[in-house]
Amino acid sequence: MSPKTALHLLYGAQYQEHSGTSLQHLLVLLTVKRQKLAWFEHVIRYHSLCKIVLQSTPERGRRRGRQKKS
């Protein structure tokens, strides 16, 4: 997905969510969302520990029941 398309989708969702808020508040929200998206694209572009953590899925969770005392 291109950044232009992602930002377009992001702006559309923001306008529908916050129909009753002030314009200044909406602009602040959009700025923060844009910066988060830019950071995410930066992390995904380069090989780093953040990228590995963001794209990984845990193999399994904890075992069920009470933990054993060691």
**Average model confidence (pLDDT) across the chain:** 74
For the ranges 9-13, 23-27, 41-45, the lowest mean pLDDT is seen at 9-13
Element (H, E) at 16: helix 3-17
Determine the average pLDDT of the residues in 24-49: 85
Mean pLDDT of 34-42: 86
Confidence of residue 7 (pLDDT cuts 50, 70, 90): low
pTM of the predicted model, to two decimals? 0.43
Task: Give the C-alpha separation, 40 to 53, whole Å.
Answer: 12
